[in-house]
Chains A and B, each alone.
Chain A
Amino acid sequence: MNNEKQTISKEEAAATLKSVDSTKRDAIQSFRIPLLLITLISLSCSLVVFSWGMTEHDNLWALGMYIGSASFGIFVAFYLYTFRLLGIKVSVLARTKDRIKSELLLLVIFAVILIFGRQFRVYEGFEYAPHIAALISGGFMAYLLYKYPAGEYLQEIKHNG
């Protein structure tokens, strides 16, 4: 029954695609993480990047890394738990090939920011590299959490038919 031949008009197909797109957009917007939690998660991320950039044998910035990592984990767990209580189980692991690709790309971007923040300070002597790296990573994390809370990129449907 489900695969039976069926024809619908171009207009009807376009309207259906638009309604699917708008349903997904509405859902993703209503699943958006509260701004306070976005801020806390982003700050934790920044703290890890900054601490890694500043860590030396004779200072305590390594502690910032541990605190940042722990608070990042706690805030993410809190976000997943509160959403679960609300009746939404967020998919943490990528399911589709596109999402796997985009998550790997994001992982590489964050790794590059983390490494360059430290390398520029230690080897190039640019003292503000960790500050800039922390700012970029925190801002980027906040943007991603705000814009793509479900981890899904939705392409705008441009067809007007």
Chain B
Amino acid sequence: MAKATFDTIIHAPNRLQICALLDTTKELEFQIIKEQLDVSDSVVSKHLKVLEDANYVRLIKKTEFTRQRTWVSLTPKGRRSFKLHLEELKRIIGET
């Protein structure tokens, strides 16, 4: 069983929220993440870039009905890291 670890990449507030959002679905469109976080495009892009560089999220650009859409999803590594990060937070507060 993997050990719970504090992940500084995930812990940044906006990135944590992005991971929490993505954890509830298979994939989300960039615009939905932006609306849920209530921040600008550039802020979302910046955080997604950090998560993508760490191989925590996957970005796929697709043209659907003549409209360019960017789908974002958590990679297995990202999903695992997010889970372990939450476990570490629970360990800190003494829940586990």
Contact = CB atoms under 8 A, between A and B. Distances in A.
Contact of A150 (B8, B9, B25, B69): B25
Given A20-B20, A28-B24, A89-B26, A2 B93 contact: no
A152 B93 contact: no
A136 interface: no
Nearest to A3: B5
A16 B24 contact: no
A3 B16 CA distance: 15
Contacts of A150: 24-25
Given A2-B7, A2-B54, A27 B93 contact: no
B6 to A, nearest CB: 5
A1 B10 CA distance: 11
A159 interface: yes
A23 interface: yes
A27 B36 contact: yes
Contacts of A24: 20-21, 23-24
Interface string B76-96: 000101000010011011110
Contacts of B79: 95
B75 interface: no
Interface in A63-117: 86-92, 95
A27 B71 contact: no
B54 A16 contact: no
A156 interface: no
A43 B81 CA distance: 40
A31 B25 contact: yes
A159 B9 contact: no
Interface of A: 1-6, 8, 10, 13-14, 16-17, 19-20, 23-24, 26-28, 30-31, 86-92, 95, 150, 152, 159, 161
24 contacts: A2-B5, A2-B9, A8-B11, A8-B92, A13-B89, A13-B90, A14-B93, A16-B89, A19-B16, A19-B17, A20-B16, A23-B16, A23-B20, A23-B21, A27-B21, A28-B24, A30-B36, A88-B25, A89-B25, A91-B26, A92-B26, A150-B24, A159-B93, A159-B95
